[in-house]
Structure 1
Amino acid sequence: MTRPFLDLLRAGLLGLFCSISPVLWAASLHAELVDTQGQPLAGAVLTLRGPLGAEAEPEQAVMDQQALQFVPNVLAVRTGTLVAFPNSDNIRHHVYSFSPSKKFELRLYQGTPSEPVLFDKPGAVVLGCNIHDWMVGYVYVTDDPWSAVSDSQGRVQFDRLPVGSYSASLWHPQSPNMLPQTAGTLVIGEPQVQQRFTLAIQAPADVVPAVAPASAFGDAFKKAQRDAAP
């Protein structure tokens, strides 16, 4: 065979390989999450559902307790994830949830419970501490294979995303009815993609007090329970 023919053959095979193996061609997504006033939203969740065959198995996650707060305040995990609940404070906590997606209780303890908690149903799970009523946290469980929580500037980053078309959704503890919102379709086809998403919330994020009132868990749980009712 002549060299030009071989070069043409290699190029054709490479193009075919790329078309049937998008998982190997990764890109990055840099997203900005804002409210309807254009202000950055911290603690918002962006989830993505994309090309088939590119989905990794759920990994174990951690929801810590530090300085009498849940850290992080919002944790996003895929359905089927085991979540550990270490207590890094020097006092005991009693973690529980009555949310329909996951009801569980970790009685008074210090250190790390021997067994993590399996979150096997999608939905928003409101966490509380039976001893410290102001402690409120959230585990957002999604069937989507990619998820991330925005930082204090409303930024989210995904690395090594397979090239392809993705359906995006958004969630925040102050989302109306505590339900996710669809965010359209996103096409990943370049090494780096930048995108801005707008999420409607019930109150500006900056009005959330630094120290939650004593009824914070009760209010959050009642809201989740009311919105989950048929």
Structure 2
Amino acid sequence: MGSKGIKKFIPLVGAMIAAIGLPASATEIVVHNADGEPMSGMVVYLQADATNQATKVDTIREPIEIHQYNKQFTPYITVIQKGYQLQFINDDDITHHIYSASGPKRFSFKLKKDNAQKQMLFDETGHISMGCNIHDWMSGHVLVVDTPHFGVTDEQGTVNLEQVADGHYQVVIWHPQLLSQDNIATSVGQWPLTQAMTISVAAPMADIPTQQSLDDFEFLEGY
């Protein structure tokens, strides 16, 4: 290698070493129960501290879908940012009559069979539980949050929250079957994270209701 090649090579090596030495910002939050087992299907979202001057980063999202499939709400839990839309889609070959059982958004509408759809704007925060007037075992939940930083844990109890502005945040963990006040557990964290954040939830979980009919009877009169 000539002297010119060596001169070009040395700065490149220096750049590589500098890049390797840079601390990486972690994006993972891991949720465990009191026994150290991963908790899947848990909503995790961040709330900025009152003294946090970090600006929120809004992400443009397509309408989030809730399907009615095999006489179940899919997914069972949906989390959405305030001011965004949900789209209800009936994938079954029967009619559903969706309604809100509780929460800040009250609604009741029919969805005819074969991909009938209805889109709704959710402009108030809070928990909305849903049911079906025809199939009374169906239950689903919507959580509307006032933050763009949210997600649902996977089978390993992990959720990735990216593009979080630097600052101090309250980390909120929510599930309708979490047996605690307001169905939440909280922790605090300082961003950027230097490593994955692990949170242990002490409160027990109730069983998720069975999403299945006890018989094959269908009451469809008037629908």
Query: Is TM-score (shorter-chain normalized) higher than 0.5?
Result: yes
Does 2:183 align with 1:185?
Answer: no
Q: Structure 1 pair 168/99, CA: closer, same or farther in 2 (3 Å)?
A: same
Matches within 5 A, 1:186-225: 186-190=190-194, 193-203=195-205, 207-208=207-208, 210-211=210-211
Superimposed CA distance per residue, residues 60-105 of structure 1 (whole angstroms, 9 cap, x where no aligned partner): 2111112211111111111112100001112211111031311111
Which residue in the other structure is 2:27 paired with?
A: 29
Mapped to 1, the partners of 2:69 and 2:133 lie a distance apart of 16
1:32, 1:197 within 8 Å by CA — same for their partners in 2? yes
1:45 partner letter: V
Q: Secondary structure at the match of 2:168?
A: strand
2:122 paired residue among 119, 122, 128 = 119
2:139 paired residue among 136, 139, 159 = 136
Which residue in the other structure is 1:169 paired with?
A: 172
Structure 2 regions of 5+ residues with no counterpart? 1-23, 215-223
| 1:28 to partner: Cα distance | 4.7
1:165, 1:188 within 8 Å by CA — same for their partners in 2? no
Q: Secondary structure at the match of 2:31?
A: strand
2:57, 2:164 within 8 Å by CA — same for their partners in 1? no
2:37 partner letter: Q
Which residue in the other structure is 1:220 paired with?
A: none
**Identity among equivalent pairs (%):** 29
Mapped to 1, the partners of 2:183 and 2:65 lie a distance apart of 23
Q: TM-score, structure 2 length as denominator? A: 0.71
2:31, 2:198 within 8 Å by CA — same for their partners in 1? yes
1:27, 1:188 within 8 Å by CA — same for their partners in 2? yes
Mapped to 1, the partners of 2:101 and 2:88 lie a distance apart of 16
Does 2:50 align with 1:47?
Answer: no
Which residue in the other structure is 1:151 paired with?
A: 154
Structure 1 regions of 5+ residues with no counterpart? 1-25, 215-230
Which residue in the other structure is 2:15 paired with?
A: none
1:101, 1:124 within 8 Å by CA — same for their partners in 2? yes
Q: Secondary structure at the match of 1:178?
A: helix
1:61 partner letter: I
Does 2:54 align with 1:56?
Answer: no
Matches within 5 A, 1:78-97: 78-97=81-100
2:138, 2:211 within 8 Å by CA — same for their partners in 1? no
2:110 paired residue among 107, 110, 131 = 107
1:122 partner letter: T
The number of aligned residues is: 184
1:174, 1:201 within 8 Å by CA — same for their partners in 2? no
By percentage of residues, which structure has more helix?
Answer: 1
2:90, 2:111 within 8 Å by CA — same for their partners in 1? no
1:194 partner letter: A
Superimposed CA distance per residue, residues 93-148 of structure 1 (whole angstroms, 9 cap, x where no aligned partner): 111103131111122423233x4112221111101111111111110111122110
| 1:171 to partner: Cα distance | 0.6
Superimposed CA distance per residue, residues 153-209 of structure 1 (whole angstroms, 9 cap, x where no aligned partner): 32211233334433211111123243433211232155xx311122344435xx436
2:104, 2:127 within 8 Å by CA — same for their partners in 1? yes
Mapped to 2, the partners of 1:28 and 1:95 lie a distance apart of 40
Rg comparison, structure with higher value:
2
Q: Structure 1 pair 209/152, CA: closer, same or farther in 2 (3 Å)?
A: farther
Q: Structure 1 pair 196/77, CA: closer, same or farther in 2 (3 Å)?
A: same
Q: TM-score, structure 1 length as denominator? A: 0.69
2:208 partner letter: V
Mapped to 1, the partners of 2:73 and 2:37 lie a distance apart of 24
